[in-house]
Structure 1
């Protein structure tokens, strides 16, 4: 189920009650603007055990009806990453993905096409060149939240830092001030660092570049 400020990945539905812990950073664009792309690299952390770890970058729309995300999933005991929309309104099949391992880097790119009707996600495992691409009919959604998230069920944050690099977020509009502002740190729960920030606005597009975003540990 998706709440106004909290969201649960599609993979998280289970038949028993679970204790969930959330750690996330969230950017909002300027009023009236919306995100049009979100890309970067995720460094894969160690996986201490088979458990319900969901680590992801993602976009959430103004109506809080779901979340469009690239999810690193630790349930099998081997990391698997794939893209999808959680969870209904609309109901869409989950995308394809692949296994990945500690120390590897996976690039993610989520982009609205020129027609404004479809978002396309591309994931690449840099060590092998393996790539998967999926498209999602989400053009009707106005995405105004960009998130770096850790979502844990009945397990602690025991895998170390979660690091993103070479992050680029674009939005419509001309006001780039949102990029120069610290992101929301949900419940002040996360110790984090951001380096190499720069912002520009040209031709009705705002571009936010972040050399690194690291969710270091629980605060």
Structure 2
């Protein structure tokens, strides 16, 4: 499977001594549609220790060439969150970010601009905001992912919750939103609430009150 081949390769580059363990939910678009934006808030869980915890919402393109993501990173022992494209084709510098702490809420927003040439990511924690643009207009994003990527550590931080999620796509089909997402390997216990889809001007708007990855099965 191309997505997993790519992600396992990324994990190998980041930490060659360990294989990553994956838990993720994925919304897949029909081939005629493409994502236009992805936003919501991430509730910051506890961080038991310094380790390779990568928790993120992200978008995957049809060519499986990388992942555009907002990554909560636990390697330093304090959560840090930033946005970026991993990892090549194209090679882009990682965006700016900031530390965040258990119990906080961080809003994320990833939007394709009106020119179609770039995507802009914004992260907000209280009064702190960081914004970065990425030259990813040539990518057609067809997968929206809520992911937990662990290398050398276990799922020991509790639930990971995303609230007030809004995802938009081109086209008119809403089934990708209202159907249950793919649960990779059936590995996660999860709860999703408050799903609503609408269509206007050839744009689908998918609103989800909450997406919670509760723990491993």
Kept after mapping to 2: 8 A contact 1:9/1:87:
no
Deviation at 1:11, TM superposition (A): 8.3
Alpha carbons 1:8, 1:86 under 8 Å: kept:
no
Aligned-pair Cα RMSD in Å: 1.4
Instruction: Give distance in 2, aligned partners of 1:110 and 1:10.
Output: 22
Question: For 2:183, which of 166, 182, 185 is the aligned residue?
Answer: 185
The C-alpha deviation readout for 1:78-127, integer Å capped at 9, x for no partner, is: 0000000000000000000000000000000000000000000000013x
Q: What residue is the counterpart of 1:17 in the other structure?
A: 17
Matching of residues 1-219 of structure 1 within 5 Å: 4-6=2-4, 7=7, 13-14=13-14, 16-126=16-126, 129-219=127-217
Query: Could you list the runs of 5+ residues in structure 2 that have no partner in the other structure?
Result: none
Aligned mates of 1:36, 1:78 — CA distance in 2 = 32
How high is the TM-score relative to the length of structure 2? 0.96
Structure 1 residues not aligned, in runs of 5+: none
User: In the comparison of the two structures, how many residue pairs are matched?
Assistant: 215
Give the match's secondary structure for 2:26. strand
| The 10-residue stretch of structure 1 (170-179 or 37-46) with the greater mean CA deviation from structure 2 | 170-179
Q: Deviations over 1:160-189 (max 9, x none)?
A: 000000000000001111111000000000
Q: Name the one with the larger helix percent.
A: 2
TM-score, normalisation: structure 1: 0.95
